[in-house]
A and B are shown apart, each in its own frame.
Chain A
């Protein structure tokens, strides 16, 4: 068997312009989905710790369902399954953003819950004892502190979700992996192209990590 192979740097470099066309889609799905997921996470994370049981259980159900099923299945369900209910097609980009939003939203709910619950009871009591209403105590005292504690976990979720978008090549949205696949179909340079695809993901995720570390070093995280 001939094991000598050549990594064709020229082929790798040649693929870059075409691959870069996928990056806006990858970023749009990731950050669009994460932004919506963050809102979902705040709402369901807070419902999850609401003293009213009737509000708690829908939150628990949502979190368990979307954490407990693969994001690939979720996006297939949304893209191929939901149109049968809705009676019309769903655009692939929308399906991708929705899947990230719902999936990340479930994890972020738990991050929010943990963050809020980690704030000492005395903080709320001090706020209430000063005459702040419960919503005020939450907004001015608990939430700002909880948010700082949540940032490392949120960053982690961001990285996971960015990588998850690679699965959405299956619904034909032209993100990074999909671009790679299309390119390889005509050039047969899988080694070089997937290597470049991996590198581009790393550039995105490392940038995010770096931004988070900057935040941390400025003391905006933790405490």
Chain B
């Protein structure tokens, strides 16, 4: 991380958070998946969440856009509140229109063309006229380098291309926050770079991002903060050079030594 970005991060740290989790607890039956999670993310911040399989990373970010309910605590996204047991009313919908998500398995709509994948939500949710939605879609597809594929269906694209379409689809809603759940884990190695490049550009443009990933190089380069989760708890967090290069917690150390060996 260079000085400039660090300064920027410190500057943003003064702003009120866009995401605030307070004492969030989540259970799957007897499994206590998230334990008293307190977390704040400020606008423009890139937070990378790392941790072992089953530690609760996906659950954590899925709570932020209400794909998972939680049982106690409270989550606030850009002033809209999510309450336990999905009793959030209208604010859930508001949050979802303002929070984009990219999934490990892309989850593109296979029956729609690439273009329709990207324009569906702006038209149906934002009520944009078709022209405007199309214009935005073309711009976004160009930005992620797949303007030539607009008429194709997702099944005709490579994994890397599909994930970039998924990114464009989420960005089309002009989100204030982007969630990524292992966006490159389902990709062949040679396609990981193109997706990370697109995400890097997005981060440089100032997007607020919460990213679950095992790409430690990427985290070191792009993250303002790295959070290590273990057993549903935030065990350690800080700038990447601290958490990744000089972890204080024993668990973080052993996790990283396992991950970085690969």
Contacts and interface: CB of A to CB of B under 8 A. Distances in A.
Nearest to A143: B111
Interface in A87-142: 120, 122-123, 125-133, 136, 140-141
B88 interface: no
Interface residues of B, number: 28
Interface in B149-185: 155, 166, 169-170, 173, 179
Given A129-B99, A131-B121, A132-B125, A223 B110 contact: yes
A56 interface: no
Nearest to B110: A223
Contacts of A148: 111
A125 B67 contact: yes
Contact of B96 (A123, A128, A141, A145): A128
Interface string B72-99: 0000000000000000000001001111
A145 B170 CA distance: 21
A127 B126 CA distance: 14
Contact of A132 (B65, B124, B166, B170): B124
A123 B98 CA distance: 19
Interface of A is mostly: helix
- Chain A interface residue number, banded: 10 to 19
Contacts of A131: 93, 96-98, 121, 125-126, 173
25 contacts: A122-B103, A125-B107, A126-B101, A126-B108, A127-B109, A128-B66, A129-B65, A129-B96, A129-B100, A129-B101, A130-B96, A130-B121, A130-B173, A131-B93, A131-B96, A131-B98, A131-B121, A131-B126, A132-B120, A132-B125, A133-B93, A136-B124, A140-B124, A141-B109, A223-B155
